[in-house]
Amino acid sequence: MIIKTIKLVNFRNHNEYFLECKDKTTLILGKNGCGKTSVLEAIYILTRGKSFRATDSEILKRGKEFYRIELCFTNGEKIEATYDGKTKNFIILDKKTKRLPIDNKYPVILFIPSDLNLISHSPGRRRDYFDRLFGQLDRKYSVILNKYEKTLKQRNELLKNEIISADSLFSWNVLLANYGAEITKKRKDYIDKINLKLTNIYRSIAENDDSVSIVYKTETSSNADTYLKNLEQNYKKDTYLGHTMYGTHRDDYVFMFNKKLADGSASRGETRSIVLAMKFIEAELMYEETGKKPIILLDDVFSELDEIRRKCLIKNFKDHQVIITSVESID
C-alpha cells in the first residue's frame, strides 16, 4: 500500500497541513520544533491505530476542540481519524469505529533517534520495542499481551489488600499463567528467528567478521502449569511487596557482541550498525509474516548516522515507500 496524501487539522502545532507523498522517498525538511515528527505520528496512528509517543488529549492542538487526520492511498482507499476532546473515531468507507480494525492495520517500520540507544535502554524500553515489533508480526500477540497486562493490573490491585487469600487469587493466577506462557513462547520463537539473521545482516553493514546475538532473558515458563505453580509459590512475597514478582512483565532482551555484553563492549559505530541491522530485520520479518512491504518512517535519524550507514539505510529500503524528516537536505 502506497500513501498518496496526508492531511492534518489541529494536530499538535499544525492548524492545517497537507503533504503529497512520492511512491518511493518523501523528504520533510524543517527546523527542530516545526512539527515534522507530528506528520509521522499521524501516519502511524492511521496505520497502526495509536500514537507511538502520546495520548490523544496531548496531541490535540491547544485551544482547539477537535483534531482530524486523513490518509489517502494510491489505490483510492482513505482512512480518517477524528478526536473531539473525549472520543477518537476512525472513519473507513463512511463507517465509524473507535478502534482501527485489524484488517485495516498496515505494517510500519518506525526509526526514531532514541532507537539508536536500544542496547543501553532500560529493560522496560526494550520490552516496549520488541512488543511493538512482535505485535506487527502476529495479530494474536498484541491481543494476548493486552489481556495479560489487564490481568496483571487486577492481580496487583488485589495484592495491595493485606488480607487477600491465595484462593482469592487463583482465577487471576490461571489467566495470568495462560497468557504469560503464550507470550513467553512467542517471544522465544521470534528471538530465534531474529538471531538466524542478525549476524549476517550486521556483517553486511559493518563489513567485518564480528558476531551479534540477542539473549532473551526470562524466568518464566512457556508451560502454563509450570507458570501457575511459580505464581503460587511467590504468593507470600507478592502479598508482602504488593505486586507480582514473577512474570513476562520482567523479561529483558540482552544484546551480545562477540559473546560479550554489547552494552560496554561495542563501540558507538558498532552499536549503530547493530540497531540498523535490527531495522532491516524488522522489514524482512514483516514482509515474510504478512506478505506486505512495510512503510518506512525515518524521524531525523540521518543526522545521527555517518555517510556509510546512511547509504546502507537507503540501499536496504530502496524497494519500500520511505518518508523521512530531516533538518537538512539529504543527498
- Segment 56-110, tens digit of pLDDT: 999 999 999 999 999 999 999 999 999 999 999 999 998 999 999 988 999 999 9
Q: What is the mean pLDDT of residues 143-153?
A: 97
Cell of 16: 492545517
Q: Which residues make Cβ contacts (< 8 Å) with residue 200, sequence separation at least 6?
A: none
Output the CA angle 107-116-203, nearest 5 degrees: 85
Q: What's the rounded Cα separation, in Å, for the pair 55 and 50?
A: 8
Residue 316: CA count within 13 A, CB half-sphere: 22
Q: Are strands 108-111 and 295-299 parallel, antiparallel or unpaired?
A: parallel
DSSP 61: P
162, pLDDT greater than 80:
no
Instruction: Report the mean per-residue pLDDT for the chain.
Output: 94
Q: Is residue 80 within 8 Å of 100, Cβ to Cβ?
A: no
The pLDDT of residue 331 is 64
The pLDDT of residue 302 is 86
Supply the pTM of this predicted model. 0.89
The pLDDT of residue 109 is 95
- Segment 175-208, tens digit of pLDDT: 999 999 999 999 999 999 999 999 999 999 988 9
Q: What's the rounded Cα separation, in Å, for the pair 89 and 91?
A: 6
Per-residue pLDDT band for 241 (boundaries 50, 70, 90) equals: very high
**Residue of 99, 62, 117, 51 whose CA lies nearest to 262:** 117
Cell of 170: 487463583
Per-residue pLDDT band for 274 (boundaries 50, 70, 90) equals: very high
Q: Which residues make Cβ contacts (< 8 Å) with residue 271, sequence separation at least 6?
A: 116, 119, 120, 262
Q: Is residue 28 within 8 Å of 43, Cβ to Cβ?
A: no
- Segment 213-239, tens digit of pLDDT: 999 999 999 999 999 999 999 999 999
Burial of 301 per CB tally in 10 Å (0-12, 13-18, 19+): buried
Q: Are strands 67-73 and 3-11 parallel, antiparallel or unpaired?
A: antiparallel
**Residue of 209, 196, 247 whose CA lies nearest to 226:** 247
The amino acid that residue 10 corresponds to is N
- Segment 303-314, tens digit of pLDDT: 888 888 888 998
Sorted by where each starts, the structural domains of the chain and their CATH numbers stand as: 3-106 (3.40.50.300), 119-289 (1.20.1050.90)
275, pLDDT greater than 80:
yes
- Segment 96-128, tens digit of pLDDT: 999 999 889 999 999 998 899 999 999 999 999
